[in-house]
Structure 1
Amino acid sequence: MTTPRTEAGRNGREAPAPPGQDFLNMQAHLSEEELAVRDKVRSFVRERIKPNINGWFDKAIFPKEIVPEFADLGLLGMHLTGYGCAGRSAVEYGLACMELEAGDSGLRTFVSVQGSLAMSAIHKFGSEEQKQEWLPRMAKGEAIGCFGLTEPTAGSDPASMKTFARREGSDWVLNGQKRWIGLATIADIAVVWARTDEENNPVRGFLVPTDAEGFSARDITPKLSMRASIQCDVTFDDVRLPESAMLPQARGLGGPFACLNEARYGIIWGAMGAARDCFESARDYALSREQFGKPIGSFQLVQQKLVNMLIEIEKGTLLALHIGRMKDEGTLRPEQISLGKLNNVREAIEIAREARTVFGGNGVTLEYPPMRHMANLESVRTYEGTDEVHTLILGNAITGIQSFR
């Protein structure tokens, strides 16, 4: 169990933050271990991602060579315990997501798909044999996973999925299509959710090797968002699987929803990382860009923009921390995750748009990050539940009335 640092420790550890960074001194509420995770990932992003992200985004390249580096940092399945995973707390994982997304949403998404979706599904619902076979390799970055839930006609309504697994002797035969599946063209194993003819809970999860006969995936291109990431269309054409491919502990849609909540949690933090990067770049630009004989940061309207951005970042980051503490305590409810995801992504997009205006015309180039973050956040706003879906989840929690159907 860790405790926050003392005042003397806080004051003696590092120089004062730049103006506007951690304005409310949130780090006073972080332990030494939590700060060490944050600082390690922040340094990695500064040294490895930020110098290269413009080229990766411009050329629509996911840098696969970075996967072992993520593994060396302990980022892959970092909040899972055992099987070579780092066993970090929810808050530590959230801080890592925030720093990664300050670099780029697409690269944070890799960590999320690998750890919060694919590895989490195996860890929560897999057999011991499945865990031993896949989790240590995935934690080391030696195997990549993907998570197949969304379909061309089943996005916000996964209960209407058409992918179907039928019994044939002791095997299962899988047919169907999935869409917007992160990492599928570079993955070694796919966690696939499909309908079956079982009674009561017909949706089951399967581990599908991507080299299985009948499995095919192709990148979705061109994209205007998440260009340094991979999203795919996937087709299953009579993919034959043994009984041992089924995730034995997952029955019904509760299985994939539990994994989605893990990913949504990381987004709550990650969105604030993107927002912070937009704010800091706009503040620095406003202090150096001169018009009418003085820095534009001296003008009231520009200061108002910076202040509004800062307020929402501080509020959203404190919200993320509070939700993370509840997650570590085991008291967090799914609708509370929805509140965090809805608020923080929505505010991050507004911050990115406002930050872009500080740059004027220069803001539409890749020389500055707000418009790249803005484009990426449109995907973040959509995946793991749209604004509308999370609004209705919260509406149901408030009124007790289910309004989806």
Structure 2
Amino acid sequence: MTFTPLTSDFYGFATDLTETEQASLGQIRAFMEDEVQPVIDDHWHRDAFPMDLIPGIAGLGVIGAGWAESARFENSAVYRGWVALEMSRIDASVSTFVGVQNGLVAGSIGVAGSAEQRAEWLPKLADCSVVGAFGLTEPLSGSDSSQGLRTVARRDGDEWVIDGAKRWIGNATHADIVIIWAKDADDGKVKGFIVPTDAAGYSATKIERKISLRMVQNADIVLEGVRVPESMRLQEASSFRDTARVLRLTRAEVAWSAVGIMIGAYEAAVRYSRERVQFGKPIAGHQLVQDMLAKSLGHITASIALCVQVSRMLDEGRQADAHSALAKSFTTSHMREVVGWCREICGGNGIVTDYGVARFFADAEAIYTYEGTAQMNALIVGRAITGESAFV
């Protein structure tokens, strides 16, 4: 399929992708524009995820990307970033579903699972015959998850007994398995477990009344004496450092997703500015509107450049926590400015979904917060700069 770089990719970064990667992106863009965009506002307003689109998403080959057991072709981290951008340009909730399924769930098993666990679960996650969720954040533990986990796992013979609670867990209401991170009652180390959602003592309750990423089915999870066999413990996870390895891989893709949201809002604002007539001409011809569009394009271009480089570093094995943290902090902070300018360009019409900006404006708030707030990621970067930790 022919791939045409986005006009918002002002410096043409996407032309550096291989022909195979460009063709795949063209297929993804067509699916998002033809299948997702026509139904997305309705589902957003109804607070419902379009479950019927999951087989089509699986058919794109974007889940399992990066994991040898299920990758359709040799995928670079740069390519995977462009996938997140292309999806988020149309809808951040669909991109988040893929990010959870591929980066957090398949990523946890790919990074910390045994060979047997990888062989069993990664193909099922890739074709979405199994839907996964990632359980790290808790009602009383978010930014301090490395130290403050209250969910506990206790060894009992050949089984583990898990007690605790998780919050803001995406996909959790319709997932088949959840990766649960819990503190070992004996050694205090954080370990990961593949928990079937039909296990006795497990329950998930949908979080209602969200104003951001409304289509993502976030849930409160309660685990009361949930038993899983030792074979369901992630065999290569023995501390929070292993959790952090997963987050390092996905945090950069969240940065890419933030760029996609910027572009979605920017493209809608450009369209609106050409159609909206005030003072006898389209507002696209007014200086202040052009100034906001130019600043938006500058933020987009700088963010793409940063994301491309941090993903190249991942491909080369040079990416560290501070690199992905800077990408996430920088892009999401600038995303807030861009969606604000784009909403302003649309005036009062910018607060209803009919004109294409409002959904991006609202969804940006969730992207700004999850996978580490801008402030927490800034502290990771600050530690790398100074050699001193400012974490409490």
TM-score by length of 2: 0.96
Tell me how far 1:69 sits from its aligned partner: 0.9
Partner SS, residue 125 of structure 2: helix
Distance 1:51 1:278 in 2: 16
Percentage identity across aligned positions? 37
Q: Bigger CA drift: 114-123 or 81-90? A: 81-90
2:382 aligned partner: 395
Give the 3 Å change call, closer, same or farther, for CA 105–177 of structure 1 in structure 2.
same
Residues 353 and 370 in structure 1, CA contact (< 8 A), matched pair in contact too: no
Q: Secondary structure at the match of 2:168?
A: strand
1:162 corresponding residue in structure 2: 150
Matches of 1:98 and 1:306, distance apart in 2? 19
- Alignment partners' CA distance in 2, 1:177 and 1:271: 29
Q: Give CA-to-partner distance per residue, 1:352-382, whole Å, 9 cap, x none.
A: 1110111111111111222211211111111
Q: Deviations over 1:244-291 (max 9, x none)?
A: 121111011012111112221111111111111111111121112111
C-alpha change, 1:197 and 1:258, in structure 2 (3 Å) is: same
Tell me whether 1:70 sits opposite 2:57 in the alignment: yes
Asked if 1 retains the 8 angstrom alpha-carbon contact of 2:248 and 2:320, the reply is no
Question: Offset at 1:114?
Answer: 0.5
Pick the aligned partner of 1:91 from 61, 78, 100.
78
Query: What letter is aligned with 1:369?
Result: G
Q: Residue 185 of structure 2 corresponds to which residue in structure 1?
A: 197
Superposed CA offset, 1:146-174 (max 9, x none): 11111000000012111111122322111
Q: Does 1:283 align with 2:270?
A: yes
Deviation at 1:86, TM superposition (A): 4.9
- C-alpha change, 1:232 and 1:109, in structure 2 (3 Å) is same
Higher mean displacement: 254-263 or 312-321 = 254-263
Q: Does 1:245 align with 2:232?
A: yes
Identify the range of structure 1 (178-187 vs 201-210) with the bigger mean alpha-carbon deviation: 201-210
Asked if structure 2 preserves the Cα contact closer than 8 Å seen for 1:76 and 1:85, the reply is no
Higher mean alpha-carbon deviation, 95-104 vs 74-83, is at: 74-83
Gaps of 5+ in 2: none
Aligned to 2:28: 41
Higher alpha-carbon deviation: 37-46 or 388-397: 37-46
The answer as to whether partners of 1:37 and 1:92 remain within 8 angstroms in 2 is: no
State the Cα distance separating 1:66 from its structure 2 match.
Answer: 1.3
Question: 1:208/1:85 Cα in 2 relative to 1: closer, same or farther (>3 Å)?
Answer: farther
Aligned CA distance change for structure 1 residues 140 and 14 (closer, same or farther; 3 Å): closer
Where 2:258 maps in the other structure, the secondary structure is helix
Partner of 2:354: 367
Counterpart in 2 of 1:299? 286
CA distance in 2, matches of 1:40, 1:340: 27
Provide the rounded CA distance (Å) in 2 between the counterparts of 1:157 and 1:242. Answer: 28
* 2:163 alignment partner, one of 170, 175, 186: 175
Q: TM-score, normalised by structure 1?
A: 0.93
Aligned counterparts of 1:104 and 1:349: Cα–Cα separation in 2 = 16
Deviation at 1:197?
Answer: 2.9
The 3 A distance-change label for structure 1 pair 379 and 390 is same
Q: Deviations over 1:79-131 (max 9, x none)?
A: 22114665411111111100000111111000010010011111111122222
Which residue is equivalent to 1:6?
Answer: none
Alpha-carbon spacing, 1:384–1:266, altered in 2? closer, same or farther (3 Å):
same
Asked whether the equivalents of residues 65 and 71 of structure 2 are also in contact (C-alpha less than 8 Å), the reply is: no
Q: Residue 5 of structure 1 aligns with which residue?
A: none
CA distance in 2, matches of 1:329, 1:33: 20
Residue 215 of structure 2, aligned match among 225, 228, 231:
228
| d(CA) in 2 for partners of 1:172, 1:284 | 55
Q: Which amino acid aligns with 1:293?
A: G
What is aligned with 1:184? Answer: 172
- How many Å separate the matches in 1 of 2:22 and 2:336? 26
**Partner secondary structure for residue 50 of structure 1:** helix
Corresponding position of 1:138: 125
| 1:334-345 map, 5 Å | 334-345=321-332
Equivalent residue letter for 1:388: Q
1:261 aligns with 2:253: no
Q: Report whether the alignment pairs 1:313 with 2:297.
A: no
| Structure 2 CA distance for partners of 1:282 and 1:210, relative to 1, 3 Å | same
| 1:59–1:14 CA distance, 2 compared to 1 (3 A) | closer
SS in 2 for 1:367: helix
RMSD: 1.6
- Which of 347, 360, 372 is equivalent to 1:385? 372
Q: Which amino acid aligns with 1:164?
A: V
- Whether contact under 8 Å (2:17, 2:79) holds in the other structure is no
Contact 2:64–2:102 (Cα < 8 Å) also in 1: yes
Q: Within 2, Cα distance between the matches of 1:337 and 1:267?
A: 9
Give the aligned partner of residue 92 of structure 2.
Answer: 105
Cα displacement (A) at 1:394: 0.8
Q: 1:21 and 1:101 mapped to 2: Cα distance?
A: 14
2:139 to 152, 159, 163: 152
CA–CA distance in structure 2, aligned partners of residues 137 and 25 of structure 1: 36
Answer whether contact 1:97 1:266 (CA < 8 A) is retained.
Answer: yes
Note the C-alpha offset of 1:134.
1.4
Contact 1:84 1:135 in 2 (8 A): no
Tell me the distance in 1 between the aligned counterparts of 2:201 and 2:389: 39
Q: Secondary structure at the match of 2:353?
A: coil
* 2:115 equivalent to 1:115: no
